[in-house]
Amino acid sequence: MENSTSEKVNSLIALSHDLALAVERVSPFVVAVNARPRVATSGVLWRPGIVVATNHTIKREEEITITLHDGRTLPAVLVGRDGSTDLAVLKVQDETSGSADIAADSEALKVGHLVLAVGRTGAEGVSASLGCISAVSGAWRTWRGGVIDNFVRLDLSIYLGFSGSPLVSAEGRIIGINTSGLARGAGLTIPATTVNRVVNALITRGRIARPYIGVGMQPVRLPDSLKTKLNLSSENGVIVLSVEPGSPADKAGLLVGDVLVALDDAPVADTSDVQAALIPERIGQAVKASVIRGGEAINISITVGERPAKGHRGE
C-alpha cells in the first residue's frame, strides 16, 4: 500500500515538474503588448519579428510597444488586424527574437488533455493557468463571420491580460492563441492552423478578404405545392429581403422576393449555408444561384465580390 501511494506521489511530482518545464519552454516567446490603457495584454512571438495578439485588446494603432521576457521594451508596428477571428499581427525589430514551437496539428487535440495558458502583462514575469480542453469540434464561424478551423473550448481561467496568450500542451508546444473575445463567459483557443492562415494574409495584404454578394436574407419554408411542381428536395430556402445597389447580386439581376434554394447545386436552407458557400477562394469567381421567382425556377450567375471594409450589412 505504501509503495502504491509513493508511486502516485512521485507521478504527481513528475507531472508538476513537466508542467513547470513547459512554462519555461514557452516563456521566452510570450510578450506583453502595451496597446490599451492601464493593463497590458499578452502576445506571442509567432515568427521572428512577428507578434500575434488579439484584436479586441488592441485599442490604439500607434505608439504600441511590447515587453520581452528579458525586460526590454520595444516599439511595435501594427501590420494588420482581423476582427472576425479576433487576431492582430504586430511587427517588431529584434534580431535576437526567435519563434515558438508551434503544434499546427489541431486534429490531435482531445477533450481532457491538460493544457496551460501562459500570459505576460509586464516585465515581472509570466503567469500560468492550468486546466483542460473541455470541448473540441470542427470548423465554425464566429459571430463576426470569421472561419475558425476547429472549435476548442477551455476549462481554465483566462485572467485579465491573458487574451493573446498561447495555449500550451504538457510537452511545451503552442497549440493556439487564447481569447475571451469570441464567446461570452468562455475561454476559447484560436488553433494554430487558423492563426497561420490569418497571419499570412495580414502580412501579405494587411487585411482579410471577405467574400459577399450583397443581399439581406432570411429562411423561408417552401410550400408543398411548389416543392412538388419544381421537384425540390429541401423543405426551406432563403428569401431575398434586400439587394445592395451596385453589389454582385444587383449586377447579376437578383431581385427582392427571389427565393434562393441552391448555390452551385448545393441546397440552401438557411443563411449559414450561404455563408459556408462563400469562401474567400471564390472571390472573383462565378457561382450559380438556383432561384425561385414568380413560382418558376431560374438560374442566375453571380460573380462573388469582396466585402467592403465599412458600411456593409448582409451576405
Show which residues are catalytic: 56, 86, 163
DSSP assignments along 74-87, one per residue: EEEEEEEEETTTTE
SS3 249: helix
Q: Residue 41: CB partners within 8 Å, gap ≥ 6?
A: 32, 33, 35, 53, 54, 57, 121, 161, 162, 163, 164
Q: Residue 75: CB partners within 8 Å, gap ≥ 6?
A: 64, 65, 92, 93
- Buried b / exposed e along 156-191 (16+ C-beta atoms within 10 A): bebbebbbbbbbbbeebbbbbbbbbbbeeeebbbbb
Of the candidates 164, 152, 156, 158, the one whose C-alpha atom is nearest the C-alpha of residue 188 is 152
Distance CA 200, CA 216 (A): 31
Backbone angles phi, psi at 270, to 5 degrees: -155, 165
Distance CA 65, CA 45 (A): 13
